[in-house]
Chain A
Amino acid sequence: MIEISGVSKRYDETVVVDDVSITLPRAGITAVVGPNGAGKSTLLTMIGRLVSASAGRIAVDGLDVATTPGARRLSILRQDNHIVSRLTVRDLVAFGRYPSSKGRLTRDDAAHIERALAYLGLEALAERFLDELSGGQRQRAHVATVLCQDTDYVLLDEPLNNLDMKHARDMMRLVRRMADELGKTIVIVLHDINVAATYADRIVAMRDGRIVRSGPPEAIMTSQALAAIYDMEIEVARIGDRMLAIPY
């Protein structure tokens, strides 16, 4: 369970996340959506303890993230990842084992690494250097690292960036499997509301640093709710048992 109570983030006078309180239950996928600059990444990086909150408290399984090192409980994929070191895909993924192995890889760690590579279909690219990959391949390598870290909580900030349609779908299916088969709790920032509605169990919608709506996809996928979130008219069409937002 992730408990966020009264959390704000200010940069000088600008309030970027404004007094947010919400509890995200254990297990399942929570999608965070909202327009650019809504504060989604900031909120996620605060949960992932990369940025400290200006006010409020965030607790994961009852432990305050500000005071507990939690690399074995919670992993995070950031929106932008730039690495100076010359790494192969396998080297990068192996870092996912660092919290438990501290650099000395056991056979168990090796198995984790192979599994993560396989989950993301990276076996053939394992010995390639990161700077020899396409943006989408690199993105998958970073996700494999997070998977390899094998934590109960996984935070993903726009993991579909740079992915083509097929890989985006594969990625979302993988995230679904991580939740369903491995029992992980996933918080994922998504930029496409339709993807969120298709794959997530809950949607948290942010705007101007606040949570404006939250609930199951059915509750968010209404013209009214979407208008409140995105400040524009969005039609919602029903196709079979699925709902699609049509902004154009």
Chain B
Amino acid sequence: MRVRAPSPRAVLILLGLLALAAAAGFMTIGLTGRLDFVLPLRATKLAALLLVGYAVAVSTVLFQTVSGNRILTPSIMGLDALYVLIQTVVVFLFGAAAFGAVDARLVFLVEAASMIGFAAVLYRWLFLGARHGLHLLLLAGVIFGVFFRSLSNLLQRMIDPTEFVVLQDRFFASFNTIDRDLLGLTAVIVLLVSVAGWRMRHVFDVLALGRDAAISLGVPHRATVTRVLLMVTVLVSVSTALVGPVTFLGLLVSNLAYQLVRSHRHVLILPAAVLIAWICLVGGQVALERAFGFDTALSIVIEFAGGIVFILLLLRGGLR
């Protein structure tokens, strides 16, 4: 008799319960002061955590599906490098005070639109003409990322050190100051992408077989991959514009999901990855803030953990 792993359904239920517990803990542990003030504040922050966790998990799994590689994350497309560059350019040109002076919604829209626009141009330009479309696309993403980062570095050197401190804060995801309007806007966009994604849920399974198998099974590969990449880009862009870049979380949760679910079906993998992201983000926040009394960025801890997973995956040769 071979020992069977727990069924995907059991895994999902367990993860769901853990996520629920994390959310309950987040809302209730250490409540003091005026509840009508504290609760809405916590609810907003919780919503942001859930939204970002969702976007990061879904975008990473889908990106890995179309690229056929489980140690890549969408950040290889250079989107977060672009985000950092935008922040840097704004501070460089207008000073750190600029972020406070301008309507946050405008900043959000400009940031999200430039990231999506950049990616769309890149996809059209590279993916539609070339022979080895996807690989060339990824390579170009890497190179643009390096270029954006170098340019940011250069500009940061010329920025006033006190302003640079303000700028640096924005390079890590922060859930402490969330604009409620932006939250709503992000939720709507994420919902729209999800509806489109839900209708493609079986196509994802086929795409994961690779280009040739997908084409022989009648999936128009190039068009479908372009569509998935756009969905990924939108998710990454809005989540980054909302809280800042989250790079390694996706790697952590997608690989945990593959390990736990042991199925090829995206209807199982995607929910598992989302739940794991929620447990990490919300549970992590509870642990850091309430249990350890830390007030610092959760994302730094998660990026650290994700980075270690990345290295472990590399060492294990999980390159495929």
Contact = CB atoms under 8 A, between A and B. Distances in A.
Contacts of A87: 264
Contacts of A99: 217-218
B275 to A, nearest CB: 19
A86 B70 CA distance: 12
Interface of A: 45, 48-50, 69-72, 75-76, 78, 81-87, 91, 95-96, 98-99, 102-104, 149
A30 to B, nearest CB: 19
Contacts of A72: 218
A78 B212 CA distance: 8
Given A71-B217, A72-B218, A86 B262 contact: yes
A81 B258 CA distance: 21
Interface of B: 68-70, 201-203, 205-206, 208-213, 215-218, 220, 258, 262-264, 320
A149 B215 CA distance: 13
7 contacts: A69-B218, A71-B216, A84-B69, A86-B263, A95-B217, A98-B206, A98-B217
Contacts, number: 62
A75 B215 CA distance: 10
A104 B206 CA distance: 13
B220 A95 contact: no
Nearest to A100: B218
Given A84-B68, A86-B262, A71 B218 contact: yes
A98 B204 CA distance: 12
B218 A98 contact: yes
A50 B215 contact: yes
Given A81-B213, A86-B258, A103-B203, 18 more contacts: A48-B216, A71-B218, A72-B218, A78-B212, A83-B209, A83-B213, A84-B69, A84-B320, A85-B208, A86-B264, A87-B264, A95-B205, A95-B217, A98-B218, A102-B202, A103-B201, A103-B202, A149-B217
A84 B64 CA distance: 10
Nearest to A48: B216
Contacts of B210: 82-84
Nearest to A142: B213
A82 B216 CA distance: 14
A69 B263 CA distance: 29
Closest 3 CB pairs of A and B: A103-B202, A71-B218, A85-B264
Nearest to A83: B209
Nearest to B208: A85
Contacts of A71: 216-218
Contacts of A103: 201-203, 205-206
B202 to A, nearest CB: 3
